[in-house]
Structure 1
């Protein structure tokens, strides 16, 4: 008798059907057609309301308890000079989050969005993926996937995913290259600001990591071998949110790499996700194109921390408020279209 893989529960979550929300979608469409505005005049805001209904089964859709969750981790590959900043920044930024002084604190405060930050052992880097696996075993990887389930605690009804960790754009790029194909040069970007020879070195490191796992196609095994912890936790959060009907807002390139892992298990398993923005990382657009998704915003951002997700969540809150709070033609005594 063979041992059961620690990944089986997560594969089951990825394959499971979501509840039927067709009635909520139909009710949302019907109400949208009666609101005091020309049909389609709110553009994509109308599609956002329908998406919320399709995920939650609530009509009219509402956003009452939004939360951004930031997962922080360290990467052994950072010692190869793939970032403009040292790994000491990881612990320092955790302190900055706790003191409410980071960009994500300000954006969440401005939009009335909750914020949780999880330290995924930033004092213990994962393995240098150019030479060894990121995680020691499938069990370690599964435990970190399971940690992502904490993201939907506290009755969250709109989840924004963010991350922080020096070297993590290298890891995200390697995962995308291993799953979606292409070279290190295709997927490497400036990250925290690397250019020239440092950027070329980053591309070489990505190629080394992908060559080391050549032939492997299982996305969860690739997650184990390339890592990192924040990406595994975000993948777990995406799966947990799907099972509970919680809409997910995916931040930038690193968060999108977690969606790439889940999508590789089952393309339908990211239907409850919306992509916040197109970051300044050149390959982020490439990854989203491979997933067949279009982001809400394009602001030239590449900070991470869930900052793009939080901005998009303000937009999503506004879409839900417009749909639920706006009067219909009949309610307002306004003549409808001829």
Structure 2
């Protein structure tokens, strides 16, 4: 069995992986002897030979084996996809093989490996993208019910207005509301107290402070977000998103120097407001700085996901690294 889990919503992807792991362990492998996750905790790269060796090995004292390869297309070059498709055709019936990737659907569908397996038997695709409309409302209702938080339609609309479709921040805010409301219906006053406004302005302020070498401002802004209750994982995820967007915008205008912010918004699939803010900020960063920051964030993200560092430490290390990077200019 081959499973692809992909989309632009990291929260849903991580949740899907966690649920599949839990279901596998509960149903087949309660001693956790047949579950393998790559990249491993000791490396930020995948070891192809080890993956295929484990894939082909019979399960130990159980019916099934599960192999998970996270951030697959980040770690595998396009030129190697044909080799992978040949090997993945040989997945034994006793192995459940999962490939996950945070990626835009259009990019995913263009992958050679995806096209090859699109209509193959025993291959499953889970597309998990940012929720909107009624689907987003139902997600909030479900999370609230699990936590015992009482919300009405007006409150749900207020949460969406402030946080958009960011499920990481929605989860954090609902947890705070749960602790404060203590079973009582959530009021608009509680929303004002515990649900921050859309984070783009804050992340742009942090990046402005970093680019201007205002180190004290950076520390103060980060401290404010933490005092407000922003989750370290969420803050770290926002830095990853922001650096990626800045790098995409920088490269876009390198190729299209006379383009407008609206064209960037369409190309990168972002809100026009965010595109306008990016245009005003990209001149403060070189492509080299952004590529260095992006690579360091990737390494920290891998270390965090494998339990080598906490999200808070990863966030502090990134900010320190970026401050040092700008000071050397």
**How does the TM-score come out when normalised to structure 2?**
0.26
- State the structure with more CA Rg: 2
Between Structure 1 and Structure 2, the one with more helix by share is: 2
**How does the TM-score come out when normalised to structure 1?**
0.26
